[in-house]
Amino acid sequence: MRKLIFGLLLFSPVALIAQERTNKQVLQSLSQSLNQQYKNDSTELSLLVRQKKAVQRFKVENGSTAQLTGIAPNKLPIYTVVDNNTTAAATTSTQTLWQGGSTGLGLTGGTQALTGKLGIWDGGRVFFDHVEFQGKGGLQLDNPAANDDHATHVAGTMIAKGVSTVARGMAYGNRGLIAYDFNNDAAEMAAQAGSLLLSNHSYGTVAGWRVNTSANNRWEFWGEPGATEDYNFGFYDTRSRFWDSITYAAPFYLPVKSSGNNRSQNGPPEGNPYWRRNAAGTWDSIPARPAGISSNDGYDIIPTYGNAKNILTIGAVQGIASGYRQATDVLISSFSSWGPTDDGRIKPDLVGMGVSLTSPVFGGNINNLAAYGILSGTSMSTPNVTGSLLLLQELYHRQTEGNFMRAATLKGVAIHTASEAGTAEGPDYVYGWGLLNAERAANVVRNHQNNHRMIEANLQQGRDTSITVIASGKGPLVVTLSWTDPPGAVNFNDRYNNRTPKLINDLDVRVTSGSNTFMPWILDPANPAASATRGDNIRDNIEKIEILNAVAGQSYTIRISHKGSLTNNAQAYSLIVSGINGIAYCASAPSSNADTRINNVSFGNINNTPSAGCTTYSDYTGLTASIRPGQSLPISITPGTCGVDKEKIIRVFIDWNGDGDFADANEVVATSAVIAGSTAFTTNVQVPASIASGLRTRMRVIVAETNNASTINACGTYTGGGETQDYSIQIVANTTDLALEDIQEPITNDCNKEAQYVSLRARNLGESIIQGTDIVYTTEVRQGANLIQTLRDTIRHFVAKGDVMILPHSQAFQANAGSYQFISAITINGDQNSGNNTLTVSKNYSNGLSATVTNIQA
C-alpha cells in the first residue's frame, strides 16, 4: 500500500504541476489510500490490545494521555502524545501587526478569504462553546470522545477572541477553524490540504523515556529491546514521508509541528528500576538501570514526523514580555527537543514562546464557558507561530489583491526574518534558525522601505538562473532559498543515525560580487554543538546567505542552480532577498592621474595608507568606519604627489540617509582650505543625532587640484589631477543613549485643571542596560515669552535595551486656557548622544476642548 502511494505521487505526469498548483487528484488518491491503511492498522492494533501486548491509552507525567495510533515495521506499537498569550505575542512581535499595533497594519486573521483556511489536529475535541470561540464557526469534523483541555488551549493560542485580554490568540479575528483529533491525521490532512493554508500539530510519537502514571508512576524506556537509544529520535519515518507527500501535492499548505518535550524526560538515575519491552513486545521490570542508556537530554531528540522536510518544526523558549532586543534575550526552555535529524538537517526550524501560556481550556465542566489554564510545552510554542503565520498570509492576500503565498514562501519568509538566538551567529540545532519575528516578516511581505523582494519561480533540469541586485545598506544583504522537496526514502533497516541525506532535489544558491563568492550557512551533525559555518548545503531544502558587510550601492549577483537530476525535471522554489534596491553611486575621478594623490585617510577605525603611485579612483569600501549617532569624530586626510606639488583642496562627503547620493543637506561634511604641500587636513565630523543605527552607507574623499572648493562635486570628472576614494560607513548604536521621545502629559481635556502635571517618555537606544545612575530631567513651561515654571526631578530607574520609561515630574504648574510651550531635557552620565536629549512641544488649549499639538521639535 505505501509503495502504491509513493509511486502515484512521484511518477504522476502532473507531479510538476503539483509544485505550483494544488494537485487534487493526487491528494484524493492519497487520502483514500491512507484511510484504507488506517483501517488496516486499526485491525492490527485491536489485536495487540486483545493479546495484552498494548493498551489503548495511558497517562504520562504531565497529565497528558498517550494513545495507541500505529504499529512500526518491527511490530512494536506506536503511541502518540500531546506535547504539553499576550507575552507570546510580544515574544514573536506578533502584537505589532494587530489593530493598534506599531506597524499600523491592523491584522487579525479575520479577512473573509481566511475563513476555513486554518486547521488543528490534536488529542481531542476543541471546546468551541467557550466564550473565546463563540461566533467563530469552528468545525470539529470528526467525533473525538470528549472535550479536551489541550486541544482547546492550542486552538485558543491561535484564534481566541481576547475576551480575556491575556488569552488573546495570535489571529484573534479568524473564523472557521477546522478541527480533528490526531488518530487518522495523514488521511485527513490529505483530504483537507487543498483548502487549508496552515495546520497546527502539537503532538508527537512517544519515544525515549516516559513516566507512565497509569502504571504506578513507573519509568519506561521506549527503545527497542536491547537498544541503548530510541531510533525514533531524528528518524525520517513513514509518516514523515506521508506528510512530505501531502505537502508536495499541496504547495500552499504548511503544517506546523511541535518539536517535542523530550529533553526533560531523562529516566531514573542509574541503578534504579525501570521498565522496557522484551523481544516478544511485552513489558519487563528491570531492577536497575545500567550505564549507557541515553537520557535523551541533548541533541538528536526530535521524534519521527517532526523531522519531515516540508513542514515547520517549532521548539519552545521562555517569554520575552518587553519584546526581542538581542540574541541573549532568547532562552531555551528546559524541555524543548533539539535536532538535528539523523541525516543532519536543521531542526527545529524556529522557536516560539512555550512557557506558561494562558489560553482557554475545557476545565471539565460543560457549563463553564470561561475556563482558562496556564500550560507549557512545545505544544504551546507551535500555535504561537502558526497563528502568527496566518497574519502574514492575510497581509500577502491584501498586498496582492487576493493571492496567497506558497508554503515554501511562507516558510522561507519566517526563516529569512527570524531573530538571532543562541551563542553564535547563524542557525544551530537548539533554536534552529531563531525566534519567529512576525514584524520583520511582515516588513518583507509588504516590501517596507522598498528594501525586499520575494520571487516564486521554477528551476528547470540542467538550467540555472540569476538576478543582480544592488545593496541598499539598510541592514545586511540576506538571501533565502526555500522549496517543497519531493518525499524522501524511508530506510527502516538502517534506522539508527543514518546520515544519508533525505534531500531529493538539491538546489543551491550563491551570491557573488567581483571575485567574492558568498555561501550558505551549514551545520555539522557529527559535531552538533559547533557553531555554524558557511559552505555547500547538501541536506536542507532551505538555504540562507547573510552578508553582514554588504557594500551599499554595490552590485551582487544571486545564482540558483542544482546538483544532479531533478525529480520530474523541475523544481518550484521561492527566493526571498532583503537589503536591496539600493542605488549605484555616481562615478567620480579627475581628468588626469598625474601629480596629486591621497597619502592617508584616518577616520574612526580606518587608518589607510595606500601604496605608492597615482590613480584617479580607489575603491576602499572594504574598509569600514563604525560611528555612532550624535558623535563628533576627528578626520584627518594627508595629500601627496607623484610629481609636481600643486595647490589642492580636500572635500569629504557622507551619504547620511543612505539614498545613494551625496546631494542632501549636511552631506558635505568637511572642506579644507587651499593646501600647498602635503600638510594633513584635520577637522571633526558631526554625526547626525537622529541617524538610525544599523545603516551601512558610503563616505567619499576627494582631493582636487583647485583653489575653489565650489568646483569640487561628489559626482563627475573634475579638471586636472587628484584622486577620489570611497569608504564604507556603519552606523552602530551607542553604548549609552537615553533619548527623550515625547511629553506624555498634560493630557487632552485637562486644560482647566488648576494643577497640571507633566510626564516625559524616554527610550534606551543604547546597547547597555541603564541602572544605578541618576537620570535628571527638566521641563520649562512657557506661555509666550513668559516662563510659567521650571520643573526639575532626579530618578534612578532600570531600563533595558530598547525599553521605554515614563518620567513624571513631582511638581505641578498652574494652568489656564491658552497656548503653552514645554521645553524638556534629560541628562545621564555617559550619554554618548546629546542630540536626542531635548524636546520642545507646543500645545493649544481651549476651555473644555481637547489640546492640539501644533509643533514638535527634537
pLDDT digits (tens, 9 = 90+) for 624-669: 999 999 999 999 999 999 999 999 999 999 999 999 999 999 999 9
Residue 24: how many CB atoms within 10 A of its CB?
Answer: 14
Please report where in the chains the cell 544519508 appears, as a residue: 500
Give the mean pLDDT of 304-331: 94
Q: Cell numbers 500552499 correspond to what residue? A: 252
- Report yes or no: 329 and 293 within 8 Å, Cβ to Cβ: no
Quick one: pLDDT band at residue 436, thresholds 50, 70, 90? very high
User: What's the average model confidence in pLDDT over 153-180?
Assistant: 97
Give pLDDT, residue 845.
67
337 with 263: CB under 8 angstroms? yes
Tell me the mean pLDDT in the region 68-91: 73
The identity of residue 565, as a single letter, is S
Residue 7 has pLDDT above 60, yes or no: no
Sign of the four-CA dihedral 624, 629, 634, 638: positive
Between CA 711 and CA 703 the distance in angstroms is: 11
Residue 57 reports pLDDT greater than 70 = no
Distance CA 851, CA 835 (A): 27
Which grid cell is 479?
Answer: 538571501
Residues in a beta bridge with 517: 512
pLDDT at 15: 41
CA distances (Å), origin 756, targets 749, 752, 813: 11, 9, 5
Distances (CA, A) of 76 to 217, 223, 525, 570, 735: 22, 10, 28, 39, 59
Closest CA to 819 of 847, 841, 845: 845
Rounded CA separation 396/130 (Å) = 31
Query: What pLDDT is attached to residue 857?
Result: 41
pLDDT at 491: 96
The whole-number average pLDDT for the span 783-805 is 87
- pLDDT band for 11, please (50, 70, 90 cuts): very low
- Higher pLDDT residue, 853 or 149? 149
Burial class (CB in 10 A: 0-12, 13-18, 19+), 566: buried
Range with the poorest average pLDDT among 137-151, 316-330, 589-603: 316-330
Q: What are phi and psi of 379, to 5 degrees?
A: -60, -30
Count of all residues that appear for the chain in the document: 858
Global pTM reads 0.86
| Spatial distance between the Cα atoms of 543 and 523, rounded to a whole number of angstroms | 12
Task: Record the cell numbers describing residue 664, joined without a space.
Answer: 542632501
Report pLDDT for 52: 62
How many CB atoms lie under 10 A from the CB of residue 711?
A: 13
Residue 19: what pLDDT? Answer: 60
For residue 53, what pLDDT is reported? 63
**Whole-Å CA distances, 585 to 449, 558, 818:** 19, 20, 51
Percent above pLDDT 70 for the chain: 92
| pLDDT at residue 5, rounded to an integer | 34
3-state SS, residue 113: helix
Greater pLDDT, 294 or 753: 294
Nearest residue to 689 via CA among 835, 837, 825? 835
Closest residue by Cα to residue 632 from 673, 670, 674: 670
Closest CA to 338 of 278, 259, 417: 259
pLDDT at 23: 84
Q: Do strands 596-603 and 632-641 pair parallel, antiparallel, or not at all (unpaired)?
A: antiparallel
Bridge partners of 218, per DSSP, are 212
pLDDT band at 813 (very low <50, low <70, confident <90, very high): confident
Model confidence pLDDT, tens digit, residues 438-471: 999 999 999 999 999 999 999 999 999 999 999 9
Mean pLDDT of the region 365-379: 92
pLDDT score of 3 more than 80: no
pLDDT digits (tens, 9 = 90+) for 202-231: 999 999 999 998 878 899 999 999 999 999
pLDDT cut 90: percent of the chain above it: 75
- pLDDT for residue 4 is more than 50: no
Q: What pLDDT is attached to residue 81?
A: 61
Most confident of 200-214, 539-553, 759-773: 539-553
Per-residue pLDDT at 765: 87
Distance CA 332, CA 314 (A): 12
Residue 20 has what DSSP assignment? H
pLDDT band at 855 (very low <50, low <70, confident <90, very high): very low
At a CB cut-off of 8 Å and minimum separation 6, what does 407 contact? 197, 247, 250, 251, 252, 253, 254, 310, 484
Amino acid at 483: W
Own/partner contacts of 139-146, CB < 8 Å, gap of 24 or more, are 139/176, 139/177, 139/178, 139/179, 140/179, 140/180, 141/178, 141/179, 141/180, 141/188, 142/180, 142/181, 142/183, 142/184, 142/188, 144/181
> Residue 620's beta-bridge partner residues?
727
Task: Decide if pLDDT at 731 tops 90.
Answer: yes
Domains of the chain plus CATH, in order, are 2-578 (3.40.50.200), 588-731 (2.60.40.1930), 738-857 (2.60.40.10)
The sign of the CA dihedral 339, 341, 345, 351 is negative
CA 189 from centroid of its chain's CA atoms: 27
AA identity, residue 787: L
Average pLDDT in the chain: 91
Among the listed residues 394, 181, 32, the one whose alpha carbon sits nearest the alpha carbon of residue 24? 32
Q: What local confidence, expressed as pLDDT, does residue 814 receive?
A: 80
Q: Which of 93-102, 187-196, 676-685, 751-760 has the lowest mean pLDDT?
A: 751-760
For strands 649-654 and 696-704, give the pairing: antiparallel
**Cα distance between residue 519 and residue 511, in whole Å:** 7
Mean pLDDT of 530-547: 99
Q: Which of 293-297, 541-545, 837-841 has the lowest mean pLDDT?
A: 837-841
**Average pLDDT value for residue range 329-333:** 95
Number of Cα atoms under 13 Å in the Cβ half of residue 468: 7
Query: How high is the pLDDT of residue 44?
Result: 77
- Residue 681: Cβ-neighbour burial (10 angstroms; 0-12, 13-18, 19+): buried
Backbone angles phi, psi at 275, to 5 degrees: -125, 150
b/e for 583-612, b at 16 or more Cβ within 10 A? eebeebbbebbbbbbbbbbbbbebebebee
d(CA 30, CA 253): 15
Residue 748 pLDDT > 50: no
